Amino acid sequence: MHSPLHRAPAPAAARHRSGRGVTPRTHWLLLATLVLTLCAGLLLQGYSRHMFDSTADGADTGGGAAGRVPAKVLSGGPVIAADGARTARPAARTIALTFDDGPDPVWTPKVLDVLRREGVKATFFTVGTRVAEHPGLARRIVDEGHQIGVHSFTHTHLGRAPGWRRSLELRQTQLAIVGATGVTTTLMRPPYSSSNQALDDVDWRAVEQAGQEGYLTVLTTLDSQDWRRPGAEKIAANATPTGGAGQIVLLHDAGGDRSQTVEALGLLVPRLKAAGYRFATVGEAVDLPAAERPAAGAHAWQGKAMVTALRSTDLALDVLTWLLWAAGALALLRAVAVFAAARRHVRLRRRGPWGPPVTEPVTVIVPAYNESAGIEAAVRSLVASDHPVEVIVVDDGSSDGTADLVEALALPGVRVIRQANAGKPAALNTGIAAASYELLVMVDGDTVFEPDAVRMLVQPFADPAVGAVSGNAKVVNRGGLLGRWQHIEYVVGFNLDRRLFDLAQCMPTVPGAVGGFRRSALLAVGGVSDATLAEDTDLTMALCRSGWRVVYEERATAWTEAPASLGALWKQRYRWCYGTLQAMWKHRGAVVQGGQSGKLGRRGLTYLMLFQVLLPLLAPVVDVFALYGLVFLDPVRILGLWTAFLVLQLLMGLYAFRLDGERPGPLWSLPLQQFVYRQLMYLVVIQSVFTALSGSRLRWQRMERYGSLPDGGAVR
């Protein structure tokens, strides 16, 4: 019977076929489409909600020069024809009640109820955003026989807006009305307008442009001043005409508490009826042709699409807000968890050694494939260990003379095993089978050990429950921004997480760069599997599920090369992330198991899912919402929140650097890391998740070596 460590490697052709799955590209198009759609929706949401001017109509009286306003308009009737040459007045003893700023879900129904009870028809000048928000109320206005008109889209001062925005405000409000009611209207009242005599040149610009676009401008003759909330009796008195002239009365059904308006309406209508006045819509009062017409097919569909879009953006913003809170809560939860765990981890480690000193010899296995750039430094550092070691370099079919370089060193205790290229798991299994000792250390060919690293790494094996030990991998090529950012990530991200995992007894990964193992434990789980691209994570999870405890020994320091270009970094992290997702799926059964396996499942896998999958997936939402906030919300508040988040990251960084004995100088680049490096890591997660969901098979990608490793020493 063959040992599981001596599995025959798959033929080269088969290996190539298994890794030939095409990385999906359509997901990037999908992601870009979703982001652009989200941005467009947020722009519409921001424009409609946060460009809204909620100042009461009567509060802005204008009062500028009126040289451009035609004299016949200044002295004419309140309804101004499209060409500005004609005006109209209501018929004698005719009252046209008009309501601005709605529809409002609270007050518009109450106003409509009073009008229905009194048998009176009125005219409602509606705000486009509110029509889109409450289309049912706009339909009720039309269905109950009232007239509906345009009062701009965001209640902005049309005269002071540029021409393009005036046109947009009118067109979008018309579309909202069409989408909600199925009819078009030719009536328009500019916000902050009042009587003809109050028109100035600024106001006239809005009236002129509205006329050019086919609207009749409706001003007022009596202002109830209900926006001042002087009391129901006063509002009714202000709206009561003197004499028999017809009037267009200004009231409001939105824009604040309109309880006084509703009460005043119940007083006003009976009194005026008793005084012989009749009530009519604006169109009826000035004997206009029908101001409302059924919308044409294409126009109706456009209106419905706009109402749907606006309501969808409301929903999207609600979802985004909840996701933002979720992302913030996750980030804060992680910060608190790792900080508390790190403090406790330090206290526990200070209580004393793991047990009696571990002095037995150790086999160090170095899987090597085209590692000529750093293999000499790696092997020399291992031989220089202050702990007895044998070093086995497994050359996995290198074509750059890696094995020859090691043999030429002729170092004592170093063996070279050559094999045809079969992949890193196969090379590790070859080394495990050839090892002379029970305790093993696995190290990548681009890693240099400190002299005491092996000794420190094996001390936890004094505890018979420990099956594997994670060491402390540090970045050696930390020059430049990319090197600094990865240095920060290793110290702040990886090492703080490992302290938490150690404390919670759910360590998911012993890094390939520096890890210790019991040979018997590895044999029991079948050696190193090639089922995932993250063989170190897969192996560690398998050991946890077999009941072994995996711990972190921060004093076992090794120096490893990090990618020196964004492209190389992408490939490495893509493989790591995708392989981790594979391992999580493979070991998902641990969630419902007990003992050490259950700790991995319910603690470790949950942590990975929340903070290494879901949180990065939410990150683009946070960034998009932050940009939205800077443009449409309070930029000072948004910058304050971002600064608070950055300060939290900095404090975590300072603490982690102190624990690791590192100088804090590189942390100056942390703000830049948030803008560039963080986005790259989030895209890596997104790419990995899409690849996993699509069922594509990603082949192993080897990182380019740069030969930056010190020859048997470290760089601090």
3-state DSSP assignment of residue 217: strand
- Tell me which residue of 436, 471, 468 sits closest to 450, measured CA to CA: 471
**Does residue 329 sit in the same domain as residue 474?**
yes
Cα–Cα distances (Å) from 256 to 237, 239, 498, 548, 559, in that order, read 21, 19, 55, 66, 66
If asked whether residues 204 and 99 sit together in one domain, one would say yes
Residue 180: other Cβ atoms inside 10 A: 28
Better-scored residue on pLDDT, 48 or 228: 228
- For residue 191, being part of any structural domain is answered with yes
Q: Is residue 46 part of a domain?
A: no
Alpha carbon distance 192, 203 (integer Å): 9
Is the same domain home to 149 and 277?
Answer: yes
Indicate if the pLDDT at residue 61 is higher than 70.
no
Residue 266: give its domain's CATH number: 3.20.20.370
pLDDT-based confidence at residue 350 (cuts at 50, 70, 90): low
- The model's pTM is 0.71
Q: Look at 141-145, 436-440, 536-540, 678-682 and tell me which has the smallest mean pLDDT.
A: 678-682
Q: Is residue 352 in a domain?
A: yes
Q: Kindly report, residue by residue over 77-123, the tens digit of the pLDDT.
A: 999 987 767 899 999 999 999 999 999 999 999 999 999 999 999 99
CATH number at residue 574: 3.90.550.10
Determine the pLDDT at residue 700.
45
Q: Return the pLDDT at 135.
A: 93
Q: What is the mean pLDDT of residues 193-209?
A: 90
Neighbours of 674 (CB within 10 A): 16
Which domain does 200 fall in, by range? 73-295
What pLDDT score does 672 carry? 84
User: Which pLDDT band holds residue 709 (cuts at 50, 70, 90)?
Assistant: low
Which residue bears the tokens 């030990």? 469
Could you tell me if residue 413 is inside a domain?
yes
Q: Which two tokens stand for residue 597?
A: 């396996």
At residue 165, does pLDDT exceed 50? yes
Kindly state whether residues 131 and 215 are assigned to the same domain. Answer: yes
The verdict on 334 and 233 lying in the same domain is no
High-pLDDT (> 70) share of the chain, %: 90
Torsion of the alpha carbons at 599, 600, 606 and 608, rounded to the nearest 10: 150
The residue to which tokens 């929140």 are assigned: 641
Q: Per mean pLDDT, which range of 61-65, 98-102, 384-388, 530-534 is the poorest? A: 61-65
Q: Which of 512, 514, 443, 433 is nearest to 472 (CA)?
A: 514
- Going by the DSSP 8-state scheme, the letter that residue 611 receives in this structure is I
Query: Could you list the active site residues?
Result: 100, 252
The verdict on residue 441 lying in a domain is yes
Q: Are residues 280 and 369 in the same domain?
A: no
Give the Cα-Cα-Cα angle 455, 459, 462 (nearest 5 degrees): 145
Segment 173-192, tens digit of pLDDT: 999 999 999 999 999 999 99
Strands 216-218 and 247-252 come out as unpaired
Burial category of 645 from C-beta neighbours within 10 Å (exposed 0-12, middle 13-18, buried 19 and up): middle
Q: Confidence band (pLDDT; 50, 70, 90) for 713?
A: very low
**Strand, helix or coil for residue 354:** coil
Domain count within the chain = 2
Residue 399 pLDDT grade (very low, low, confident, very high; cuts 50, 70, 90): very high
Give dist(CA 102, CA 128) in Å, integer: 9
